[in-house]
Structure 1
């Protein structure tokens, strides 16, 4: 650092402390008394600092610089160079770990040692001793103020460096926080955008589902109506089957009655046959009587001629009766055959009617079961239709909620955009603050 760069400018202090050409001559005269024993002087100066510093190599380098600075000071007290060299020596001592009190102790040791050397050299020349003691006092005061100014400047420089470090650390931490926050905000914005897109995609899906649910509800209601119509048709068919079963029952009853009538007719025919048998027997006996009468009439001759005619007529009637009886027997046989066929047909009809009744009962029971099943299906379809309606309403509510969520997500994304802008502003403000803090 040059004199123009030094924070402690000697020229500002020359007049204040009375540092003039006369003082410069006195300082050179003082050094002439000190120079022969300067090693002892520097040992006294070094003692307070070496007690606090363990770096021997650093102490040796510092000792060389201190020797040069002190020699320059006594050689030309009005030169800025020794002030800057003292400043550098103090900074180096502090860097080695010497406390500030040790530095002032070294300055005090120098003043005492030089004063003792002057007293020893000119003890007999009182006027000279007083003049040089006065010069030492001025030098000590000026040097103490310069040391204090250097310490203050050093402290300010250290404070500035500390503030710079702290500001840099603060700025780095703030920038890191801002960057992380901005990164997180951007990620959240991206996630919000994805969520908004997904929500809007879900809106389309829910619209499709709502439409499908509505169509399903309509189809279910139509199915319920169809099932209701099917129940009515099954009920009508069951009624028709019951009517048919009633007709079959009546037909069975009538067939039973017909069987009974046919059986009665057969009994009557058998009775007629027995009567015909009796008539045949009577006709045969009449024919035999007529034959006997004819024989007796022939025996009687003319007296029996009339009786023979009657016998002949009786025989003729008996023959006609026999033929009529045979004819009736033939017809009765036909009647018996027809009656037998009628009985068999009636039995078959009755059996068929019974089968029809059994089938009708089975059909009626099956239709009743089908009606119950269709009723259950109808109830299930109704419940499904209600569920579809409810689902449609729920989906509509979900769609509304999804729209609200999508809008809120858009607001969140917008808010995080504002946060990004605020973080950018905060980052710039933090940078300015750190610059001002470190200045």
Structure 2
């Protein structure tokens, strides 16, 4: 886009607008087409639903008995057959087997349009599709067929609305060709295309005119800018009095032209000043030459001294440089002297560092070895503590399990104590029942004794009566025998009850003793439960303590391992320091100082040597 001209950009804008207009026009025509087809479909559906309402009305008259079936069908068919609407619309009715019942062409009424050989294959196919659509609930059927008054052999698009009427086993429908809608859509497309093309052409012309009003002033301003770029300060800049963008560019070009005019004047002034400077420069050249020769001597003398210093000879001193550079010579010799003193002290300190380095290496090695041994001992201690912690944890778990079992036994003991108490109460009730039974037996014995006395008196009275009392005497004797047997049986029962009472009393005593024993056992179990619970709690506390101790030992082991690693790193660093110290001493020995001969240089005959 940055390489396009303004005219081209305007044309591109117009083209984009044209595309938008074309797209909007296409959408508008498409919506118009959809609206037209929807309107046609709604019109067809309204006509068919009106016809079905007529059929339902006459069918209701048939059901009510007002009309017979033939009369109702005839009236209904006549009513819907007379319906007409635009464009050229009518209602038709077809039985599900393909026989036409209603049609404006009388010749088709009563003919089977699906099986008759006189019907074209096209019409048979359309009738069959109507029937299939009706049996599936009805709807809009779109198909192509020939049109009356149309071109022979040409098929035209047509829409038919089909609705079923099951009470009379038939369908009703109506249709309309859509060629008028297609013609309307084509006409709208042509009109919108012509209008759009005209609008685009007009916009293109307007864009060209506007582009010319912009590009022509810009071309003149560009020519002015080119002249200013060539340092032409006499060119008349156009359009400097306006307020639009071109005038602003022209004003900026005018300001640039003024700046160029000022630059040219400044260059002329600089040329004059340059000539004056050349004369002054030549004068100073001669003075600089003499000074350069003097400085060359100074530089050569100092270079000789510096070469000796570079070779490691710190005993060298600078020779005479003349009166002007006497201070420089003094500073140079003072600096070399201080460097020599510093190097002497460095040599002494280097020897001390070497000795200290050896001691550090020995100490670091011993520290590394001790740290490794400590790490191994801590690892063994940690493993032992882990085993001890596992044992204590198992003991704690066993104690907890024993505590649970003791609690369970305690509960069972409480239950047994309650059962024993219930048994003692039951024994007491049995003893009371035995006493009541004994009293009842006593009453029975008294009754048997009285019965025996009465039988004896009856026998005496029967004996007195003589022969007439013999039968009564026999009865009295039997009653007496029965009373005696009852008395003997009651005595036996009383003896058994007495023995049972004795046994029950013994049982009550034994059950009571059992209850007391269970109470003592319950107290002992409670004491044992408390002891076992205390043991479990102590074991848990010991387990917690041992775990904390094991974690501490593990942390100490980890830290010791780290210390061992750091000791090894320190040993390695110390070894590296030793190597660096030896290298440093080797470098120091390369320098020669007063009163000392290095390993790399021959001993000096004098303490100081002059260079120059």
Higher strand share: 2
Highest relative contact order (Cα 8 Å, sep 6+), 1 or 2? 1
Higher helix share: 1
Q: Which of these two proteins has the greater Rg computed from alpha carbons?
A: 1
